[in-house]
Amino acid sequence: MFKTQNISVLKHNPEKLDNFVRTENYGDIIYLLRKLGKLSPDFDQSPLLYLLKKDNDNVRYLAVKNLAKLSNPSLIGTYKELLKSDSSAKVRRESVSAIGRLRKKESIPILIGLLDDYDPEVVLQAIRGLLVFKKDNLVKNELKKLSEHPNEIVRVVINKEFNNNHNNLDEKTNHTQSPEFMKNVVVRGDVREIIKYAPDESIHLTFTSPPYYNARDYAIYQSYDEYLKFLEDVFKEVHRITKDGRFFILNTSPIIIPRVSRQHSSKRYPIPYDIHPLLIKMGWEFIDDIIWLKPESSVKNRNAGFLQHRKPLAYKPNACTESVMVYRKKTDKLLDWNIRQYDWDVVNKSRVNEDYETSNVWKIDPVFDRTHSAVFPLELCNRVIKFYSYIGDLVFDPFAGSGTFGKSALSLNRYFFLTETKPEYFERIKENINQKMLSENYREPTFLDLKTFISNTKRK
Ligand SMILES: C[S@@+](CC[C@H](N)C(=O)[O-])C[C@H]1O[C@@H](n2cnc3c(N)ncnc32)[C@H](O)[C@@H]1O
Protein backbone atom coordinates (compact mmCIF):
# COMPACT_ATOMS: atom_id res chain seq x y z
CA MET A 1 0.00 0.00 0.00
CA PHE A 2 1.26 3.46 -0.96
CA LYS A 3 2.30 5.57 2.03
CA THR A 4 1.67 9.31 2.38
CA GLN A 5 5.27 10.03 3.52
CA ASN A 6 6.53 8.63 0.21
CA ILE A 7 5.01 11.58 -1.67
CA SER A 8 7.71 13.99 -0.58
CA VAL A 9 10.47 11.46 -1.52
CA LEU A 10 8.97 10.92 -5.00
CA LYS A 11 8.40 14.64 -5.53
CA HIS A 12 12.08 15.39 -5.02
CA ASN A 13 13.56 12.38 -6.82
CA PRO A 14 12.85 12.35 -10.59
CA GLU A 15 14.18 8.83 -11.13
CA LYS A 16 12.07 7.32 -8.37
CA LEU A 17 9.05 9.24 -9.60
CA ASP A 18 9.61 8.04 -13.16
CA ASN A 19 9.90 4.45 -11.97
CA PHE A 20 6.80 4.84 -9.82
CA VAL A 21 4.55 6.11 -12.64
CA ARG A 22 5.77 3.32 -14.93
CA THR A 23 5.22 0.47 -12.48
CA GLU A 24 2.47 1.34 -10.02
CA ASN A 25 -1.26 0.83 -10.36
CA TYR A 26 -3.68 3.63 -11.35
CA GLY A 27 -5.13 3.88 -7.83
CA ASP A 28 -1.76 4.80 -6.31
CA ILE A 29 -0.80 7.05 -9.22
CA ILE A 30 -4.06 8.98 -8.86
CA TYR A 31 -3.53 9.25 -5.12
CA LEU A 32 -0.04 10.65 -5.68
CA LEU A 33 -1.17 13.11 -8.38
CA ARG A 34 -3.87 14.47 -6.07
CA LYS A 35 -1.41 14.98 -3.22
CA LEU A 36 1.58 16.45 -5.08
CA GLY A 37 0.74 19.99 -3.97
CA LYS A 38 2.87 22.95 -5.07
CA LEU A 39 5.55 22.19 -7.66
CA SER A 40 8.72 24.24 -8.13
CA PRO A 41 9.51 25.48 -11.68
CA ASP A 42 12.50 23.06 -11.90
CA PHE A 43 10.29 20.01 -11.20
CA ASP A 44 11.03 17.30 -13.79
CA GLN A 45 7.92 17.19 -15.97
CA SER A 46 8.76 14.04 -17.93
CA PRO A 47 6.91 11.56 -15.64
CA LEU A 48 3.79 13.73 -16.00
CA LEU A 49 4.17 13.86 -19.79
CA TYR A 50 4.52 10.08 -19.80
CA LEU A 51 1.16 9.80 -17.96
CA LEU A 52 -0.63 11.79 -20.70
CA LYS A 53 -0.48 8.64 -22.84
CA LYS A 54 -2.27 6.43 -20.30
CA ASP A 55 -5.74 5.09 -21.08
CA ASN A 56 -7.20 6.27 -17.74
CA ASP A 57 -9.05 9.64 -18.01
CA ASN A 58 -8.42 10.55 -14.39
CA VAL A 59 -4.69 9.94 -14.67
CA ARG A 60 -4.43 12.12 -17.79
CA TYR A 61 -6.61 14.83 -16.23
CA LEU A 62 -4.52 14.97 -13.04
CA ALA A 63 -1.31 14.93 -15.04
CA VAL A 64 -2.46 18.06 -16.93
CA LYS A 65 -3.55 19.67 -13.66
CA ASN A 66 -0.06 19.18 -12.23
CA LEU A 67 1.70 20.27 -15.42
CA ALA A 68 -0.32 23.51 -15.31
CA LYS A 69 1.29 24.31 -11.93
CA LEU A 70 4.66 24.61 -13.70
CA SER A 71 3.41 27.57 -15.81
CA ASN A 72 5.71 26.44 -18.60
CA PRO A 73 4.89 28.15 -21.95
CA SER A 74 6.70 25.41 -23.88
CA LEU A 75 3.82 23.07 -22.93
CA ILE A 76 1.31 25.04 -25.04
CA GLY A 77 1.80 22.63 -27.95
CA THR A 78 1.07 19.66 -25.67
CA TYR A 79 -2.13 21.25 -24.40
CA LYS A 80 -3.19 22.12 -27.97
CA GLU A 81 -2.67 18.52 -29.02
CA LEU A 82 -4.80 17.26 -26.10
CA LEU A 83 -7.56 19.72 -27.05
CA LYS A 84 -7.49 18.37 -30.57
CA SER A 85 -7.33 14.65 -29.89
CA ASP A 86 -8.18 13.69 -26.30
CA SER A 87 -11.56 11.97 -25.98
CA SER A 88 -12.13 13.03 -22.35
CA ALA A 89 -14.05 16.26 -21.66
CA LYS A 90 -12.23 16.59 -18.31
CA VAL A 91 -8.80 16.44 -19.95
CA ARG A 92 -9.77 18.97 -22.64
CA ARG A 93 -11.24 21.38 -20.04
CA GLU A 94 -8.11 21.14 -17.90
CA SER A 95 -5.90 21.73 -20.94
CA VAL A 96 -7.63 24.98 -21.84
CA SER A 97 -7.48 26.06 -18.21
CA ALA A 98 -3.72 25.32 -18.26
CA ILE A 99 -3.29 27.53 -21.34
CA GLY A 100 -5.26 30.32 -19.63
CA ARG A 101 -3.15 30.06 -16.48
CA LEU A 102 -0.04 30.91 -18.47
CA ARG A 103 -1.38 34.47 -18.95
CA LYS A 104 0.74 34.79 -22.11
CA LYS A 105 -0.15 36.96 -25.08
CA GLU A 106 0.80 34.10 -27.38
CA SER A 107 -2.14 32.11 -25.92
CA ILE A 108 -4.66 34.65 -27.21
CA PRO A 109 -5.15 33.18 -30.75
CA ILE A 110 -5.46 29.66 -29.32
CA LEU A 111 -8.05 30.74 -26.76
CA ILE A 112 -9.99 32.70 -29.39
CA GLY A 113 -9.95 29.58 -31.57
CA LEU A 114 -11.67 27.70 -28.74
CA LEU A 115 -14.60 30.11 -28.43
CA ASP A 116 -16.62 28.04 -30.87
CA ASP A 117 -15.79 24.70 -29.21
CA TYR A 118 -18.71 22.27 -28.90
CA ASP A 119 -18.14 21.93 -25.13
CA PRO A 120 -19.47 25.06 -23.30
CA GLU A 121 -17.09 24.36 -20.38
CA VAL A 122 -14.15 24.68 -22.78
CA VAL A 123 -15.65 27.94 -24.05
CA LEU A 124 -16.01 29.19 -20.47
CA GLN A 125 -12.41 28.29 -19.63
CA ALA A 126 -11.26 30.07 -22.81
CA ILE A 127 -13.32 33.13 -21.77
CA ARG A 128 -11.69 33.06 -18.34
CA GLY A 129 -8.24 33.01 -19.95
CA LEU A 130 -9.14 35.82 -22.37
CA LEU A 131 -10.69 38.10 -19.74
CA VAL A 132 -7.15 38.77 -18.49
CA PHE A 133 -6.65 40.60 -21.82
CA LYS A 134 -10.11 42.16 -22.06
CA LYS A 135 -8.68 45.62 -22.73
CA ASP A 136 -7.17 44.31 -25.98
CA ASN A 137 -9.59 45.34 -28.77
CA LEU A 138 -9.37 42.04 -30.65
CA VAL A 139 -10.14 40.07 -27.47
CA LYS A 140 -12.96 42.43 -26.51
CA ASN A 141 -14.61 42.13 -29.92
CA GLU A 142 -14.30 38.35 -30.03
CA LEU A 143 -15.79 38.01 -26.54
CA LYS A 144 -18.66 40.39 -27.28
CA LYS A 145 -19.70 38.16 -30.18
CA LEU A 146 -20.69 35.56 -27.57
CA SER A 147 -23.54 37.65 -26.14
CA GLU A 148 -26.00 35.48 -28.12
CA HIS A 149 -24.22 32.17 -27.41
CA PRO A 150 -26.62 29.20 -27.04
CA ASN A 151 -25.27 28.40 -23.56
CA GLU A 152 -26.94 30.46 -20.83
CA ILE A 153 -23.90 30.67 -18.51
CA VAL A 154 -21.73 31.95 -21.37
CA ARG A 155 -24.34 34.63 -22.15
CA VAL A 156 -24.57 35.72 -18.50
CA VAL A 157 -20.78 36.00 -18.12
CA ILE A 158 -20.39 38.04 -21.32
CA ASN A 159 -23.29 40.35 -20.57
CA LYS A 160 -22.03 40.93 -17.07
CA GLU A 161 -18.55 41.79 -18.33
CA PHE A 162 -19.60 44.06 -21.18
CA ASN A 163 -23.13 45.36 -20.52
CA ASN A 164 -22.76 46.13 -16.88
CA ASN A 165 -25.16 48.87 -15.76
CA HIS A 166 -25.00 48.29 -12.01
CA ASN A 167 -24.12 51.81 -11.07
CA ASN A 168 -27.34 53.25 -12.43
CA LEU A 169 -29.38 50.73 -10.52
CA ASP A 170 -27.49 51.22 -7.27
CA GLU A 171 -28.17 54.92 -7.37
CA LYS A 172 -31.82 54.48 -8.27
CA THR A 173 -32.91 52.11 -5.54
CA ASN A 174 -32.36 51.90 -1.88
CA HIS A 175 -32.26 48.20 -1.38
CA THR A 176 -33.08 48.05 2.31
CA GLN A 177 -36.02 50.50 2.22
CA SER A 178 -39.67 49.77 1.45
CA PRO A 179 -42.84 51.89 1.06
CA GLU A 180 -44.36 53.02 4.37
CA PHE A 181 -47.94 52.47 3.11
CA MET A 182 -47.28 48.74 2.72
CA LYS A 183 -45.72 48.09 6.12
CA ASN A 184 -47.78 45.81 8.40
CA VAL A 185 -50.78 46.15 6.11
CA VAL A 186 -53.41 43.52 5.31
CA VAL A 187 -55.64 44.23 2.31
CA ARG A 188 -58.90 42.42 1.66
CA GLY A 189 -59.52 41.65 -2.01
CA ASP A 190 -58.23 39.90 -5.08
CA VAL A 191 -54.44 40.06 -5.09
CA ARG A 192 -54.47 40.77 -8.85
CA GLU A 193 -56.27 44.06 -8.17
CA ILE A 194 -54.24 45.04 -5.13
CA ILE A 195 -50.75 44.25 -6.36
CA LYS A 196 -51.07 46.70 -9.27
CA TYR A 197 -50.71 49.50 -6.72
CA ALA A 198 -47.47 48.17 -5.24
CA PRO A 199 -44.41 49.97 -6.65
CA ASP A 200 -41.64 48.16 -8.57
CA GLU A 201 -38.97 46.64 -6.34
CA SER A 202 -40.80 47.35 -3.10
CA ILE A 203 -40.56 44.02 -1.24
CA HIS A 204 -37.71 41.85 0.01
CA LEU A 205 -39.26 38.37 0.22
CA THR A 206 -42.41 36.51 -0.75
CA PHE A 207 -43.47 33.24 0.82
CA THR A 208 -46.80 31.81 -0.18
CA SER A 209 -48.98 28.78 -0.57
CA PRO A 210 -51.49 29.42 -3.37
CA PRO A 211 -54.91 27.78 -3.68
CA TYR A 212 -54.61 24.05 -4.48
CA TYR A 213 -56.48 24.29 -7.80
CA ASN A 214 -59.99 23.03 -6.99
CA ALA A 215 -58.94 20.61 -4.28
CA ARG A 216 -60.20 22.88 -1.48
CA ASP A 217 -63.28 25.00 -1.44
CA TYR A 218 -61.74 28.46 -1.20
CA ALA A 219 -61.19 28.92 -4.94
CA ILE A 220 -62.86 27.56 -8.04
CA TYR A 221 -61.30 27.62 -11.50
CA GLN A 222 -62.94 26.54 -14.75
CA SER A 223 -59.91 24.53 -15.82
CA TYR A 224 -56.37 23.66 -14.79
CA ASP A 225 -55.10 25.94 -17.58
CA GLU A 226 -57.09 28.83 -16.15
CA TYR A 227 -55.63 28.08 -12.71
CA LEU A 228 -52.03 28.06 -14.02
CA LYS A 229 -52.65 31.30 -15.93
CA PHE A 230 -54.00 32.87 -12.72
CA LEU A 231 -50.84 31.91 -10.81
CA GLU A 232 -48.66 33.07 -13.68
CA ASP A 233 -50.33 36.52 -13.62
CA VAL A 234 -49.85 36.87 -9.87
CA PHE A 235 -46.25 35.65 -9.83
CA LYS A 236 -45.25 37.98 -12.70
CA GLU A 237 -46.40 40.85 -10.54
CA VAL A 238 -44.58 39.43 -7.52
CA HIS A 239 -41.49 39.43 -9.72
CA ARG A 240 -42.01 43.08 -10.64
CA ILE A 241 -42.37 44.23 -7.02
CA THR A 242 -39.46 42.13 -5.70
CA LYS A 243 -36.14 43.85 -5.16
CA ASP A 244 -33.16 42.91 -7.27
CA GLY A 245 -31.73 39.50 -6.37
CA ARG A 246 -34.26 38.77 -3.61
CA PHE A 247 -36.21 35.59 -2.95
CA PHE A 248 -39.57 34.06 -3.82
CA ILE A 249 -40.46 30.88 -1.98
CA LEU A 250 -43.38 28.83 -3.13
CA ASN A 251 -45.10 26.06 -1.21
CA THR A 252 -47.18 23.71 -3.34
CA SER A 253 -47.72 19.99 -3.82
CA PRO A 254 -49.35 17.71 -6.37
CA ILE A 255 -53.05 17.40 -5.70
CA ILE A 256 -55.67 14.82 -6.45
CA ILE A 257 -59.19 15.44 -7.75
CA PRO A 258 -61.29 12.40 -6.74
CA ARG A 259 -62.88 10.19 -9.38
CA VAL A 260 -66.39 10.97 -10.61
CA SER A 261 -67.51 7.35 -10.22
CA ARG A 262 -66.07 3.84 -10.07
CA GLN A 263 -65.95 3.83 -13.89
CA HIS A 264 -63.42 6.71 -13.85
CA SER A 265 -60.02 7.31 -12.34
CA SER A 266 -59.07 10.11 -10.02
CA LYS A 267 -56.79 12.75 -11.53
CA ARG A 268 -53.50 13.89 -10.15
CA TYR A 269 -52.13 17.36 -10.99
CA PRO A 270 -48.35 17.94 -10.58
CA ILE A 271 -48.66 21.63 -9.60
CA PRO A 272 -44.99 22.28 -8.62
CA TYR A 273 -43.70 20.83 -11.88
CA ASP A 274 -46.16 22.79 -14.01
CA ILE A 275 -45.50 26.11 -12.29
CA HIS A 276 -41.71 25.77 -12.36
CA PRO A 277 -41.19 26.44 -16.12
CA LEU A 278 -43.53 29.45 -15.94
CA LEU A 279 -41.47 30.94 -13.11
CA ILE A 280 -38.21 30.46 -14.98
CA LYS A 281 -39.67 32.08 -18.08
CA MET A 282 -40.77 35.18 -16.17
CA GLY A 283 -37.30 35.76 -14.72
CA TRP A 284 -36.98 33.78 -11.50
CA GLU A 285 -33.80 31.80 -11.03
CA PHE A 286 -34.18 28.36 -9.45
CA ILE A 287 -32.15 28.10 -6.25
CA ASP A 288 -33.27 25.16 -4.10
CA ASP A 289 -35.90 22.48 -3.64
CA ILE A 290 -36.72 22.06 0.02
CA ILE A 291 -38.98 19.20 1.05
CA TRP A 292 -41.44 19.77 3.87
CA LEU A 293 -41.85 16.33 5.43
CA LYS A 294 -44.89 15.59 7.61
CA PRO A 295 -45.47 12.54 9.82
CA GLU A 296 -47.18 9.79 7.81
CA SER A 297 -49.87 9.57 10.47
CA SER A 298 -50.91 13.16 9.72
CA VAL A 299 -51.77 12.64 6.02
CA LYS A 300 -54.61 10.92 4.21
CA ASN A 301 -54.15 7.16 3.98
CA ARG A 302 -54.12 6.01 0.32
CA ASN A 303 -52.70 2.60 1.11
CA ALA A 304 -55.71 0.60 2.19
CA GLY A 305 -56.37 -1.09 -1.21
CA PHE A 306 -52.78 -2.03 -1.95
CA LEU A 307 -52.29 -3.27 1.58
CA GLN A 308 -55.00 -5.86 0.88
CA HIS A 309 -54.42 -6.94 -2.74
CA ARG A 310 -50.66 -6.17 -3.25
CA LYS A 311 -51.16 -6.00 -7.03
CA PRO A 312 -48.47 -4.04 -8.90
CA LEU A 313 -49.54 -0.89 -10.78
CA ALA A 314 -52.15 -0.09 -8.15
CA TYR A 315 -49.56 1.04 -5.59
CA LYS A 316 -50.40 4.42 -4.00
CA PRO A 317 -47.90 5.90 -1.53
CA ASN A 318 -49.08 8.23 1.21
CA ALA A 319 -48.10 11.78 0.27
CA CYS A 320 -46.16 13.07 3.30
CA THR A 321 -44.25 15.83 1.53
CA GLU A 322 -44.83 19.25 0.08
CA SER A 323 -42.44 21.29 -2.03
CA VAL A 324 -40.91 24.49 -0.78
CA MET A 325 -39.29 25.80 -3.95
CA VAL A 326 -36.76 28.59 -3.59
CA TYR A 327 -36.23 31.14 -6.39
CA ARG A 328 -34.24 34.35 -6.67
CA LYS A 329 -35.09 37.30 -8.88
CA LYS A 330 -32.62 36.90 -11.70
CA THR A 331 -29.73 39.32 -11.51
CA ASP A 332 -26.05 39.40 -12.34
CA LYS A 333 -25.30 40.63 -8.83
CA LEU A 334 -23.87 38.19 -6.30
CA LEU A 335 -25.64 37.54 -2.98
CA ASP A 336 -22.77 39.42 -1.35
CA TRP A 337 -24.03 42.57 -3.05
CA ASN A 338 -27.47 42.13 -1.44
CA ILE A 339 -25.91 41.53 1.97
CA ARG A 340 -23.56 44.53 1.65
CA GLN A 341 -26.54 46.90 1.31
CA TYR A 342 -27.36 46.42 5.03
CA ASP A 343 -25.69 48.16 7.96
CA TRP A 344 -23.38 45.99 10.00
CA ASP A 345 -25.75 46.24 12.96
CA VAL A 346 -28.69 44.84 10.96
CA VAL A 347 -26.59 42.00 9.56
CA ASN A 348 -25.38 41.18 13.02
CA LYS A 349 -28.86 41.19 14.58
CA SER A 350 -30.25 39.07 11.71
CA ARG A 351 -27.70 36.25 12.05
CA VAL A 352 -29.20 32.78 12.57
CA ASN A 353 -27.27 31.88 15.69
CA GLU A 354 -29.33 28.99 17.00
CA ASP A 355 -29.24 25.36 15.76
CA TYR A 356 -30.71 25.16 12.30
CA GLU A 357 -31.76 22.55 9.75
CA THR A 358 -28.74 21.76 7.57
CA SER A 359 -30.48 19.54 5.01
CA ASN A 360 -33.20 20.27 2.46
CA VAL A 361 -35.63 18.00 4.30
CA TRP A 362 -37.54 20.02 6.86
CA LYS A 363 -39.48 17.80 9.26
CA ILE A 364 -42.33 19.93 10.55
CA ASP A 365 -45.69 18.81 11.93
CA PRO A 366 -48.73 20.26 10.19
CA VAL A 367 -51.09 22.43 12.24
CA PHE A 368 -54.84 22.74 12.11
CA ASP A 369 -56.86 25.92 12.36
CA ARG A 370 -60.50 26.24 13.41
CA THR A 371 -61.30 28.60 10.49
CA HIS A 372 -58.87 27.80 7.68
CA SER A 373 -58.33 24.32 6.23
CA ALA A 374 -54.72 24.67 5.02
CA VAL A 375 -52.53 26.85 7.20
CA PHE A 376 -48.76 27.14 7.36
CA PRO A 377 -47.14 25.83 10.54
CA LEU A 378 -45.57 28.85 12.26
CA GLU A 379 -42.25 26.98 12.35
CA LEU A 380 -42.18 26.78 8.53
CA CYS A 381 -42.69 30.55 8.22
CA ASN A 382 -40.11 31.27 10.93
CA ARG A 383 -37.46 29.28 9.08
CA VAL A 384 -38.19 30.96 5.75
CA ILE A 385 -38.07 34.43 7.30
CA LYS A 386 -34.87 33.79 9.24
CA PHE A 387 -33.00 32.20 6.32
CA TYR A 388 -34.16 34.52 3.55
CA SER A 389 -34.66 38.04 4.97
CA TYR A 390 -33.10 40.66 7.23
CA ILE A 391 -34.55 42.51 10.18
CA GLY A 392 -36.63 45.49 8.97
CA ASP A 393 -37.36 43.90 5.55
CA LEU A 394 -40.83 43.94 4.02
CA VAL A 395 -42.14 40.40 3.42
CA PHE A 396 -45.22 39.48 1.39
CA ASP A 397 -47.81 36.71 1.24
CA PRO A 398 -50.32 37.24 -1.62
CA PHE A 399 -52.48 34.29 -0.47
CA ALA A 400 -52.40 35.05 3.23
CA GLY A 401 -55.19 32.73 4.43
CA SER A 402 -55.15 32.95 8.22
CA GLY A 403 -52.09 35.24 8.16
CA THR A 404 -49.50 32.88 9.64
CA PHE A 405 -46.71 34.47 7.63
CA GLY A 406 -47.60 37.93 8.95
CA LYS A 407 -47.62 36.64 12.50
CA SER A 408 -44.17 35.15 12.02
CA ALA A 409 -42.88 38.39 10.41
CA LEU A 410 -44.04 40.46 13.38
CA SER A 411 -42.39 38.22 15.91
CA LEU A 412 -39.12 38.30 13.97
CA ASN A 413 -38.98 42.10 13.51
CA ARG A 414 -39.84 42.15 9.82
CA TYR A 415 -42.71 44.14 8.27
CA PHE A 416 -45.44 42.20 6.47
CA PHE A 417 -47.75 42.92 3.58
CA LEU A 418 -50.66 40.49 3.15
CA THR A 419 -53.55 40.11 0.74
CA GLU A 420 -56.50 37.76 1.19
CA THR A 421 -59.74 37.64 -0.70
CA LYS A 422 -62.12 35.81 1.62
CA PRO A 423 -63.78 37.98 4.30
CA GLU A 424 -63.85 35.17 6.88
CA TYR A 425 -60.09 34.59 6.53
CA PHE A 426 -59.47 38.33 6.61
CA GLU A 427 -61.25 38.38 10.00
CA ARG A 428 -59.13 35.40 11.11
CA ILE A 429 -55.97 37.34 10.24
CA LYS A 430 -57.16 40.16 12.51
CA GLU A 431 -57.50 37.75 15.43
CA ASN A 432 -54.25 36.02 14.65
CA ILE A 433 -52.09 39.07 14.29
CA ASN A 434 -53.63 41.08 17.10
CA GLN A 435 -52.90 38.22 19.45
CA LYS A 436 -49.22 38.94 18.97
CA MET A 437 -47.28 41.28 21.22
CA LEU A 438 -45.91 44.03 19.04
CA SER A 439 -42.18 44.34 19.29
CA GLU A 440 -40.42 47.66 19.90
CA ASN A 441 -40.51 50.30 17.13
CA TYR A 442 -43.16 48.39 15.26
CA ARG A 443 -46.25 49.90 13.84
CA GLU A 444 -49.75 48.75 14.59
CA PRO A 445 -51.07 46.41 11.83
CA THR A 446 -53.76 47.96 9.64
CA PHE A 447 -56.58 46.09 7.92
CA LEU A 448 -57.82 47.78 4.74
CA ASP A 449 -60.26 47.31 1.93
CA LEU A 450 -59.04 47.87 -1.62
CA LYS A 451 -60.40 51.42 -1.89
CA THR A 452 -58.67 52.64 1.26
CA PHE A 453 -55.45 50.94 0.24
CA ILE A 454 -55.54 52.67 -3.16
CA SER A 455 -56.11 56.06 -1.57
CA ASN A 456 -53.17 55.42 0.80
CA THR A 457 -50.89 54.70 -2.17
CA LYS A 458 -51.82 58.11 -3.57
CA ARG A 459 -50.93 59.86 -0.33
CA LYS A 460 -47.45 58.35 -0.19
C1 LIG B 1 -53.48 27.67 0.80
S2 LIG B 1 -54.32 29.05 1.40
C3 LIG B 1 -53.06 29.91 2.27
C4 LIG B 1 -53.03 29.63 3.75
C5 LIG B 1 -51.98 30.43 4.49
N6 LIG B 1 -50.65 30.06 4.07
C7 LIG B 1 -52.12 30.31 5.99
O8 LIG B 1 -51.11 30.08 6.69
O9 LIG B 1 -53.23 30.41 6.53
C10 LIG B 1 -54.61 30.03 0.00
C11 LIG B 1 -55.42 31.30 0.26
O12 LIG B 1 -55.47 32.08 -0.92
C13 LIG B 1 -56.69 32.82 -0.90
N14 LIG B 1 -56.97 33.31 -2.26
C15 LIG B 1 -57.43 32.61 -3.33
N16 LIG B 1 -57.53 33.40 -4.41
C17 LIG B 1 -57.11 34.63 -4.03
C18 LIG B 1 -56.96 35.88 -4.71
N19 LIG B 1 -57.29 36.00 -5.98
N20 LIG B 1 -56.47 36.93 -4.03
C21 LIG B 1 -56.13 36.81 -2.71
N22 LIG B 1 -56.26 35.66 -2.02
C23 LIG B 1 -56.73 34.58 -2.67
C24 LIG B 1 -57.68 31.78 -0.40
O25 LIG B 1 -58.85 32.40 0.11
C26 LIG B 1 -56.87 31.04 0.66
O27 LIG B 1 -57.09 31.56 1.93
Residue-wise pLDDT for 288-328, tens only, equals: 999 999 999 999 999 889 999 999 999 999 999 999 999 99
3-state secondary structure of 452: helix
Rounded to the nearest angstrom, the distance between the alpha carbon of 184 and the centre of ligand 1 is 18
Largest CA distance in the chain: 86
The answer to which of 4-18, 232-246, 370-384, 388-402 has the lowest mean pLDDT is 4-18
Q: How large a percentage of the chain has pLDDT more than 90?
A: 80
Rounded to the nearest angstrom, the distance between the alpha carbon of 210 and the centre of ligand 1 is 6
> Rounded distance, CA 452 to CA 460, Å?
13
Q: Which atom of ligand 1 is nearest to the CA of 211?
A: 10
- Superfamily covering domain 6-166: Leucine-rich Repeat Variant (1.25.10.10)
Q: Which atom of ligand 1 is nearest to the CA of 400?
A: 5
> Rounded distance, CA 58 to CA 212, Å?
49
CATH for the stretch 175-459: 3.40.50.150
pLDDT score, position 5: 64
> Rounded distance, CA 324 to CA 82, Å?
45
pLDDT score, position 83: 95
Q: Which atom of ligand 1 is nearest to the CA of 372?
A: 9
Rounded to the nearest angstrom, the distance between the alpha carbon of 444 and the centre of ligand 1 is 23
Pocket test for ligand 1, best of 194, 212, 213, 399 (most atoms within 8 A of CB): 399
Q: Write the CB contacts of 451 (distance below 8 Å, at least 6 apart in sequence).
A: none
Per-residue confidence at 42, pLDDT binned at 50, 70, 90?
A: confident
pLDDT: which is higher, 194 or 41: 194
Residue 375: is its pLDDT beyond 70?
A: yes
Per-residue confidence at 438, pLDDT binned at 50, 70, 90?
A: low
Residue nearest atom 18 of ligand 1, based on CA coordinates = 190
Pocket test for ligand 1, best of 421, 429, 431, 432 (most atoms within 8 A of CB): 421
Residue 168: is its pLDDT beyond 70?
A: no
Q: Where are the alpha helices (DSSP H) in 118-165?
A: 120-131, 137-144, 152-162
pLDDT score, position 261: 83
pLDDT score, position 263: 83
Residue 436: is its pLDDT beyond 70?
A: no
Residue 435: is its pLDDT beyond 70?
A: no
Domain borders along the chain are 6-166, 175-459
Rounded to the nearest angstrom, the distance between the alpha carbon of 80 and the centre of ligand 1 is 60
Rounded to the nearest angstrom, the distance between the alpha carbon of 366 and the centre of ligand 1 is 17
Residue 414: is its pLDDT beyond 90?
A: yes
Q: What is the mean pLDDT of residues 329-356?
A: 95
pLDDT score, position 167: 45
Give the residues surrounding ligand 1 with Cβ less than 6 Å away: 190-192, 209-211, 218-219, 372, 374-376, 399, 401-402, 404, 419-422, 425
Residue 248's beta-bridge partner residues? 206, 327
> Rounded distance, CA 285 to CA 283, Å?
6
Rounded to the nearest angstrom, the distance between the alpha carbon of 211 and the centre of ligand 1 is 6
pLDDT score, position 49: 96
pLDDT score, position 170: 47
pLDDT score, position 377: 96
Residue 4: is its pLDDT beyond 50?
A: yes
Residue 169: is its pLDDT beyond 60?
A: no
Pocket test for ligand 1, best of 194, 420, 428, 448 (most atoms within 8 A of CB): 420
- If you average pLDDT over every residue of the chain, what do you get? 92
What global pTM score does this model have? Answer: 0.84
**b/e code 183-208 from CB counts within 10 Å (16+ = b):** bbbbbbbebeebbebbeebbbbbbbb
Q: Which atom of ligand 1 is nearest to the CA of 216?
A: 1
Per-residue confidence at 216, pLDDT binned at 50, 70, 90?
A: low
Q: Which atom of ligand 1 is nearest to the CA of 191?
A: 20
